[in-house]
Every structure is written in C-alpha cells, then in structure tokens.
Amino acid sequence: MNGVVNSVNVRGEGGVPKLPVRAATLRLDGVEGDHNRFRTERRNGDPKRAICIFSLERIHDLQREGHPIEIGTTGENLTIEGLDWSALEVGMKFKVGGATIELSEPCAPCNVIRESFKEHKFSRIDHSLEMGWSRWLASVIDEGVVSSGDSVSFEYPGQS
C-alpha cells in the first residue's frame, strides 16, 4: 500500500483550518510548529496522538456530497493521497518522507470541525458510524522531515 503526501498542514495557535506548509518535522511529541489539541488539550500530551492524517480522496468524496470541506479544515496535519483508507488498521506503520508513523486510533470528530460539513453534521466522518471515513491519529516512531510530494509506504512487520 503506497501513497503520496498531498499537503503538510500546521497551525501554531491551534484550531482549524490547519494551513499548508512546504515541509515540517514530525517529532515524537507532534508536528513542529503546530498546536495539536488532540494531544495537548484532550490527552495530556499522549504521544499516540502526535499527528492527525486524512485522505485526499475522502475530502473529494465529501465535497461531491456537498460538504464545504477543504484540505486542513478538519485539523489534519498530513493530507495523504493514494492509500486504501478503508483498509487502515490500528498498529499499521508507514514510512512518510523521512519519518515513520504508527496508526493509533481513528480520530473521533468534534464540534470544532463542524464548518466543514453541511448542516454541521461532522458525524459524517465518525468511524463508529462510517467505517473507513475517519481521520486517523498516529504516533511518530522515527522523527523526520515530511514534505508535500513525499512518498507514503506501508512498512511490513519486521521491516526496518
């Protein structure tokens, strides 16, 4: 399973939208230059919630449904294209640019992202209601720089 980083998104003061940058360093405690409320406000710095990723294809599908979603408006740090989003599972590891990440959990949607959805129905991307449509939270296993256009590749168990 391979993909490409379409956009790297940060927002220093927190909130949404996260704004595109050319590149950012993924650190064990999150994306450099980004305030991450998934980690800091909700889980006391939980490293399993260091970054948030979302699918470019899912964003486009939601736009076709009439939702005003755009890249970064749901708070994702990495917008990724080309992965089979419905096949993602907890524990999967991916090499992303110069970093390695591990999927921790589907990211439950919250009121902060309501403006990205018609009639504010952000539950459209709730994993418990719509499997395969959620953003994902991930930990950073190996720190590194990630840029738009970088490859995203699944690391098979035992692969280093």
Query: pLDDT (tens digit, 9 = 90+) per residue, 78-118?
Result: 999 999 999 999 999 999 999 999 999 999 999 999 999 99
SS3 137: strand
**Domains of the chain, each with CATH number or no CATH:** 2-155 (2.40.33.20)
Choice between 127 and 46, residue whose per-residue pLDDT is larger:
127
For 13-57, write each residue's pLDDT tens digit: 888 999 999 999 999 999 999 987 655 555 566 788 899 999 999
By residue count, the chain amounts to 160
Could you give the count of Cα atoms lying within 13 Å of 51 in the half-sphere of its Cβ?
33
User: What is the rounded average pLDDT of the residues 123-136?
Assistant: 96
Percent with pLDDT over 70 in the chain: 92
- What b/e string do you get for 83-122 counting C-beta neighbours within 10 Å, with b at 16 or more? bebeebeeebbbbbbebbbbbbebbbbeeebeebbeeeeb
Q: Which two tokens stand for residue 47?
A: 């490293």
Q: How confident is the model at residue 63 (pLDDT cuts 50, 70, 90)?
A: very high
